[in-house]
Amino acid sequence: MSQILVDTSALLALLDADDPRQAAVRATFAQHPDDDLVTHGYVIAESIAVARRRLGVDGVVALLDDVLPAIDLLQVDAATHATAQARYRASLPSGTSFVDQVSLAVIERDGIDTVLVLDPDFARPGLTVIPGH
Amino acid sequence: MIRTQISLSEEQMQRLRAEARRRKVAIAEVVRDAIDRTIPADPGERRARRQRLLSAAGRFHSGSGDLAARHDEIAGEGDR
């Protein structure tokens, strides 16, 4: 049993029947019943913002009531936030988004080796990306 | 929150204080986090939560199918 960090892109693709990778994301969730799903507050805030704009209140309610209870919340402490912020600042004007920098800092802090994501920014040595590209 | 009292060795307390300082959080937060990581949720409850997650799959139609791909931009973090 290991921890799988769930990113914003996976949460949104799961809910959206029009997403071309919706079935693959659902299957990936179903294929890991014994692994711990984890995420953090920045991913949740971003997911709520996008769901509210494009899926409406019902989409946000499904995210809050049906999806997130299955995913454990990891704390982003001040040191992890500071690491992500410094890396984000150094990557400007282009580069990995701030929320992704926080995810990468959490992954590094907690030794997480698998991430459920559709974002190519997570492709790096030592990190398994599912469902894969 | 439920208040409780536990006994720790001097060495455990030192480690706990050091971790709380490193994370810049309260000692209680480190203890709560350690419990969540160490003691898994009830298996039946865990399965029920996972089934509920799967039941939400494909319940909505964005019309564009690009939420996952363009979430940075949609959330207001696009390049400027």
Question: How many angstroms away from the CA of A126 is the closest CA of chain B?
Answer: 22
Q: Which pLDDT does position A133 carry in this prediction?
A: 63
**For chains A and B, what is the number of CB pairs under 8 angstroms?**
125
CA closest to A120 among chain B residues? B69
pTM score, whole prediction = 0.83
Instruction: For residue A53, give the chain B residue with the closest CA.
Output: B74
The interface pTM score, or ipTM, of the predicted complex is 0.92
Residue A39 phi, psi (nearest 5): -155, -170
CA distance B77 to chain A (A): 8
Q: Do A9 and B69 lie within an 8 Å CB cutoff?
A: yes
- The full DSSP string for A26-71 is HHHHHT-TTSEEEEEHHHHHHHHHHHHHHTHHHHHHHIIIIIGGGS
**A38-92 tens-digit pLDDT:** 999 999 999 999 999 999 999 999 999 999 999 999 999 999 999 999 999 999 9
